[in-house]
Amino acid sequence: MKIIHTADLHLGSPLGGAIPAEKIPERRNELLGTFIRLCDYADANGYELVLLAGDVFDGDLPPRDDKEFFYSAIKKHPNVKFLYLKGNHDSMTSYTESIPNLLTFGSEWSCYRFGDVCVYGIELPESNKRAAAESLVCNPNDINIVMLHGQIGGSADDIVVKDYAGKGIDYMALGHVHGYTYGDIDARGKYVYSGCLEGRGFDEAGQKGFVEIDTDLGVGHRFRPFASRNIHICEVDVSDVSDKPDALAKGIAATASFPKDDIVRIVFKGEVSFDTAGLALSAQTYLKNSFYHVTVKDLTKTKPDIESIAKEESLAGEFVRLAAEADFPENCDRGRVLTIGLKALYGELSEYRKER
């Protein structure tokens, strides 16, 4: 049996942040369009099930047009069964009609059987999510898929993977985390977050798509990129360049491999000895027609002027003078000692550690 696992469509999302206001209507339509493309893909390629692991909608009261679009897409693909488990964003969304190929779950475990494949699901409560694992019983002779929506963690309010070990689970289809990731439940099964179908903001950068499952191949799975456009965050360290034109050139070169239809953010970083005023604007102006949308941030910092600091009657000045006179071992980087020491004195050491 061929199955698609997807989640976190967030239909009806207001968007914003990653794109300007005038492009929001188009981008919202792209979210809808990607879902209908997924339905078409499933139908055309013999997929019998589509697992919707939560947050189909962005809120409990989604726009009427988005809600009708979702139901219409499902009705137009009667050969595919859609198993919809609500997530934390759409937990109170009410159904307006009964659709034969749309199957749902409730606050107790439900199971749908398709030959030797059993799909279990439950809408987890806000607190004490661990209790749900205790009541799950699967037949180890079946191919068992479990659908859940929530964060993997170690507390009672998380999905705790070890609680599901030894229960005969072959594949755990998860929603809530917006990036594709997976891991072992036990020697038999894996948990998988499909991630969202489309990135909506810079906190959802990277390739987006869905997961294909084939129960005839030992419940094998693979990620398929499918988004209409992806979001990229490109960090460009310009510590090694000598002037603003070189920094600009390095930033432009760093984006050369990104598709022109994508959304890009460039972040200039590092310590520099030149004035970076206007660098971000120059990069954004140069690249504005190269991508669907581009934004640029300048997070560079000016290198400390060691000679000037050494002349100060301050703790930093005393530190620089002592460091200049100190007899360091041959393998010791004097410049790094100065950098760490000055950042500690200026209260920037924790930030430096994050950068490293």
pLDDT of residue 327: 83
* Domain that includes residue 30, residue range: 2-225
Vertex 277: Cα angle to 274 and 278 (nearest 5): 130
Do 109 and 153 fall into the same domain?
A: yes
- Which one of 175, 192, 225 terminates a domain? 225
Do 120 and 144 fall into the same domain?
A: yes
pLDDT of residue 94: 64
Q: What number of CA atoms fall less than 13 Å from residue 249's CA on the CB side?
A: 7
pLDDT of residue 328: 80
Do 322 and 242 fall into the same domain?
A: no
- Which one of 166, 200, 225 terminates a domain? 225
Neighbours of 1 (CB within 10 A): 17
Do 102 and 189 fall into the same domain?
A: yes
pLDDT of residue 226: 97
Neighbours of 89 (CB within 10 A): 23
Do 143 and 220 fall into the same domain?
A: yes
Cα separations (Å) of 319 from 112, 303, 310? 70, 16, 8
Do 141 and 99 fall into the same domain?
A: yes
Do 272 and 236 fall into the same domain?
A: yes
Domain harbouring 199, CATH code: 3.60.21.10
pLDDT of residue 320: 79
Do 259 and 310 fall into the same domain?
A: no
Do 10 and 120 fall into the same domain?
A: yes
Beta strands 171-175; 143-149: pairing state: parallel
Do 320 and 255 fall into the same domain?
A: no
- Which one of 190, 225, 260 terminates a domain? 225
Q: What averages of pLDDT result for each successive group of 10 residues across the chain (356 residues)?
A: 96 85 93 97 98 91 88 96 91 73 95 97 89 94 97 92 97 97 97 96 95 92 97 96 96 96 96 92 96 96 77 85 83 75 71 50
pLDDT of residue 126: 82
Do 323 and 260 fall into the same domain?
A: no
pLDDT of residue 268: 98
How many domains does the chain divide into?
Answer: 3
Do 13 and 109 fall into the same domain?
A: yes
